[in-house]
Structure 1
Amino acid sequence: MNEHRNHAVLKIGELAARSGLTVRALHHYDSIGLLTPSAHTDSGYRLYNRADVARLHQIQALRRFGMSLADIGTFLASPDAPFADIVAQQIATLDQQIAQASALREQLSHLHRQMAGGGEPELADWLSTLEMMNLYDKYFTKDELHRLPFWQQDARRNSGWAALVAQIRDVMEKGVPPFDAGPRQLAERWMQMLERDTAANPDFARRITVMMEIEPAAQLHTGITPQLKQYVIEAFGEHKLALYADYLDDDELRRMRVGASQHGAEWMALIAAVHRQLEAGADPADPASQALAREWTTLFSARIGDNPATLEKIRHAHTREPRLLVGTWVTPAMLDFIRASRATLPPA
């Protein structure tokens, strides 16, 4: 037994059992010259040593990459065949399989949490949930998903979103205008929940918005159609105008209503960029911070003009109405950062 270990010699049956191949397959490899045993017993049994086993590993690795036996023979016949590269590719393949298995485990854990909060999901629920999770994988890294409350949704939160979508669809289909008090309240709830479920991260919100816009599966799964989304945006704009009404005159409100429908995507991208600057601890006087402050001023002026009296009214409104920032991903710290950066700009 010890002699067998020292010489590391395996009979064909032992090698077949250890490698997962059949004896017949090893006979075939021998017959085509792909894996010829280094020795035979006096009785004619094939014996495989360590070098033979190493070559078999290379053969199996290349087979898993889809290479034919003939091509494998040609590859291994090369005196400079990159064996280390074969092992590296196998490691990369295993890493990918581990990542896929980990993602599947998270998907199943997510479904388990849903089941713990209620009844057994139907087959369609399982499939749509898996489909949505695959969509999230396209827009977020694994680390980001761990920080995204949407990914960790429980059954209660999911049902809350489903109920809100149904309520908004109902008032929209009944023809209730967005400026009515009911839609305004629903839109405020919507934006509060969205801000919460994106961890108050505007870049997360921006990517989810893009996903909802271009992925039919996301619209089908959530019921959030482009029409419903637009209705919510208009109702939320009316909600904010109602808050501003105590501070601005009719002309100012009219201009703000027109400006609110413009540059929506630019605003969200800018808010996300400022958020990243804050998270990075950037100096307000940094050139990148100053560039963001200039863009902020430009978009703000396009929305409400540059009348100093109006600007002062808006600042006053924000000090008195905290709800103006709720559901916008804009924080007081962000506004302070923009003001500080703007103060470092040279005179125009």
Structure 2
Amino acid sequence: MLLKIGELARRTGLTVRTLHHYDSIGLLSPSGRTQAGYRLYQHSDMARLHRIMALRRFGLSLAEIATSLAGPDLPLASIVAKQIAALDSQIAQADTLRGRLQMLQQQLVQGQEPELAEWLTTMELMTMYDNYFSREELQQIPMLTDAKVEQEWKALVARVRAVQAKGATPDDATAQALATQWMVKIVHDTNAHAGLFARLNTMHETETALQVSTGIDNALMQFIIQCFNASRVALYRPFLDDAEFMFLKANYGKRASEWLPLFAAIRTAMDANAAPTDPMVLELARQWLDLFQSYAGRDPATHRKLRTAHQQEPRLMDGSFVTPAMLQFLAPAMGVLAQQGGACES
């Protein structure tokens, strides 16, 4: 079946002008023409146009689409699968919004007018999220898309603020327990994806509306970090002598902000199937070793004690983005660094 350009435009929802433009830039040229010179599109042209339209919806520019189509053919089935996944994501978001609207409807029926402002804030936040995450990424962060998880976070924030209001310090056992619960939940509700959490942190630091909506401002985050670090230091205490412990206590957490970007970079390397001895991976291992030694010192004997601590105290891994797969991935690179003269422990 051959279609003239007008018919193809009508059937696909595109404009004739758009199809002319695709032809002029070599993105989609018709397979044939009539004797009068009119463009004719056949079945193979439909497959290419489907790819173009799908990639356009994924956010690629026409130049990027041209580059993609110039390479090895991406199976149309794979593109359709991605479209289905994108639609599934949109459906999930729509379900979440529907749930919120149902709650709003109930509140309005009961005369709770202030909830309207919360609804508007919700829509504002949904737009804000789009500036930081793709729809696929948002589905990996239930704390942003699941109303039930959002309520869990509000309850946890309230508990932390209550403890903070009583004057708790980072050495307070209750504050440390809440901070650990907080970090464990962060890891869980971001699917242990350090890169997504790093962007989430940036969004929280930048967007005042989000801080107001969640009740999580920068001061609260600093309190959580201080309490969590203090809890880790306390867990190390039984394994170190006085001098080792004092050094660790004085330095632990000083460079804490550097760990998350490092975890994110390692996750990216792992997702890219980078070779463990690739120069990039070796550099990541060097950064890891440098950060570790910033609070552990350089004495191999101390390193062995800290390794024993991790073996005997599983709570040290609670709330950490470090996974066994990550340690296994870095092990060969750490071995290379050890051969070059540096003992390293995680």
* Aligned CA distance change for structure 1 residues 85 and 154 (closer, same or farther; 3 Å): farther
The offset of 1:327, in angstroms, is: 0.8
Equivalent-residue separation in structure 2 for 1:281 and 1:194 (angstroms)? 26
* Aligned CA distance change for structure 1 residues 171 and 51 (closer, same or farther; 3 Å): closer
Give secondary structure in 1 for the equivalent of 2:131.
helix
Report the counterpart of residue 141 of structure 1 in structure 2.
134
* Aligned CA distance change for structure 1 residues 125 and 105 (closer, same or farther; 3 Å): farther
The offset of 1:265, in angstroms, is: 2.5
User: Is the Cα–Cα contact under 8 Å of residues 284 and 344 in structure 1 kept in the other structure?
Assistant: no
Which segments of 5 or more consecutive residues in structure 2 lack a partner in the other structure?
Answer: 9-14, 29-52, 60-82, 108-114, 342-346
User: Is the Cα–Cα contact under 8 Å of residues 201 and 329 in structure 1 kept in the other structure?
Assistant: yes
TM norm structure 1:
0.68
Report the counterpart of residue 168 of structure 1 in structure 2.
160
Which segments of 5 or more consecutive residues in structure 1 lack a partner in the other structure?
Answer: 1-49, 55-60, 66-80
2:242 counterpart of 1:242? no
Equivalent-residue separation in structure 1 for 2:199 and 2:6 (angstroms)? 53
Q: Deviations over 1:249-285 (max 9, x none)?
A: 3332332233233222221111111122233333322
Report the counterpart of residue 116 of structure 2 in structure 1.
123
User: Is the Cα–Cα contact under 8 Å of residues 237 and 257 in structure 1 kept in the other structure?
Assistant: no
Give secondary structure in 2 for the equivalent of 1:328.
coil
Identity of aligned residues (%): 35
Equivalent-residue separation in structure 2 for 1:244 and 1:161 (angstroms)? 29
Report the counterpart of residue 309 of structure 2 in structure 1.
317
Matched letter for residue 120 of structure 2: L
2:182 counterpart of 1:196? no
Q: Which residue among 278, 281, 297 is the counterpart of 2:289?
A: 297
Aligned CA-pair RMSD: 3.8
Q: Deviations over 1:71-111 (max 9, x none)?
A: xxxxxxxxxx96967999xx79x95999xx99986554212
**Structure label with greater radius of gyration:** 1
Equivalent-residue separation in structure 1 for 2:6 and 2:219 (angstroms)? 66
Report the counterpart of residue 169 of structure 2 in structure 1.
177
The offset of 1:243, in angstroms, is: 1.2
Equivalent-residue separation in structure 2 for 1:119 and 1:320 (angstroms)? 52
Farther-moved stretch of structure 1 (319-328 vs 119-128) = 119-128
Equivalent-residue separation in structure 1 for 2:120 and 2:94 (angstroms)? 11
Equivalent-residue separation in structure 2 for 1:217 and 1:262 (angstroms)? 29
Equivalent-residue separation in structure 2 for 1:169 and 1:221 (angstroms)? 15
Equivalent-residue separation in structure 1 for 2:199 and 2:318 (angstroms)? 19
User: Is the Cα–Cα contact under 8 Å of residues 170 and 226 in structure 2 kept in the other structure?
Assistant: yes
User: Is the Cα–Cα contact under 8 Å of residues 107 and 130 in structure 1 kept in the other structure?
Assistant: no
Farther-moved stretch of structure 1 (261-270 vs 160-169) = 261-270
Report the counterpart of residue 111 of structure 1 in structure 2.
97
Map 1:1-348 to 2 at 5 A.
95=57, 107-114=93-100, 120=106, 122-155=115-148, 157-345=149-337, 347-348=340-341
The offset of 1:321, in angstroms, is: 1.4
Q: Deviations over 1:294-326 (max 9, x none)?
A: 111111111221111111110001111121111
Equivalent-residue separation in structure 1 for 2:265 and 2:297 (angstroms)? 23
Equivalent-residue separation in structure 2 for 1:173 and 1:317 (angstroms)? 33
TM norm structure 2:
0.69
User: Is the Cα–Cα contact under 8 Å of residues 90 and 135 in structure 2 kept in the other structure?
Assistant: no
Equivalent-residue separation in structure 2 for 1:174 and 1:148 (angstroms)? 32
User: Is the Cα–Cα contact under 8 Å of residues 203 and 272 in structure 1 kept in the other structure?
Assistant: yes
Equivalent-residue separation in structure 2 for 1:286 and 1:52 (angstroms)? 53
Q: Deviations over 1:16-54 (max 9, x none)?
A: xxxxxxxxxxxxxxxxxxxxxxxxxxxxxxxxxx99999
